[in-house]
Homo-oligomer: A and B are copies of this chain.
């Protein structure tokens, strides 16, 4: 009967209130962190009573899940935008562009970064709906390495110990069947290591150790790219 955005005043009002709740929750998250996110405070700020909020989110954890999905999509979108902007450049430039976009997003949204890449909340296990948004930046890296492999080849796939071969082949089959297993293993490791660099900077482990974080990160990321075989 109508477009997907206006199939009834009731449904639209629900959408708007849901969005307003998420917006206010995101504000509190950015201001105070996930631990101090209070349903009652969100409701208070929105001029409603706390119990009314439960019509939209059955529990605080469900609100957090919504914010987690949004955060994954936000960082994924930033990374994809940076990647598109470097579309014409070489694989190392594209790799670096995505990595720096991840770091920039993390520095700009520290609490949201902590929500998705920091310690998970105690009893909480992420539902499967978070998997696709969480995969976006990873898929970007896979695409970059795959393109490089197709176009110009990868430099020396480093020798793989025999004991890791089955696992590497399994990962390659799942993630990028056209890439050599050794490259896929190196890629997955570099992916995790990249977020180690970002996390250490963001969570204060680099205090009194690394001063010029920008340049240090750029260099470390370039070495990671080199490690997975990008020219």
Question: A177 near B: Cβ within 8 Å?
Answer: no
Q: Would you call A219 and B122 a contact (CB within 8 A)?
A: no
Question: A167 near B: Cβ within 8 Å?
Answer: yes
Binds B, one of A4-12, A85-93, A193-201: A193-201
Instruction: Tell me the number of copies of this protein.
Output: 2
Question: A55 near B: Cβ within 8 Å?
Answer: no
Q: Would you call B197 and A193 a contact (CB within 8 A)?
A: yes
Q: Would you call A158 and B223 a contact (CB within 8 A)?
A: yes
Question: A126 near B: Cβ within 8 Å?
Answer: yes
Question: A211 near B: Cβ within 8 Å?
Answer: yes
Chain B residues whose C-beta falls within 8 Å of the C-beta of A174 in the assembled complex:
208-209
Binds B, one of A29-37, A75-83, A95-103: A29-37
Closest residue on chain B to residue A193 by CB atoms = B193
Q: Would you call B131 and A208 a contact (CB within 8 A)?
A: yes
Min CB–CB distance A181 → chain B (angstroms): 12
Bound CA–CA A163/B134 (angstroms)? 34
Q: Would you call A216 and B189 a contact (CB within 8 A)?
A: yes
- Within 8 Å by CB of A204, from B120, B163, B208, lies B120
Q: Would you call A215 and B118 a contact (CB within 8 A)?
A: no
Q: Would you call A210 and B171 a contact (CB within 8 A)?
A: yes
Question: A150 near B: Cβ within 8 Å?
Answer: no
Q: Would you call B164 and A216 a contact (CB within 8 A)?
A: yes
- Which residues of chain A in 149-191 are interfacial with respect to chain B, using CB atoms and an 8 Å cutoff? 158, 160-161, 163-164, 166-167, 170-171, 174-175, 185-186, 188-189, 191
Bound CA–CA A188/B203 (angstroms)? 15
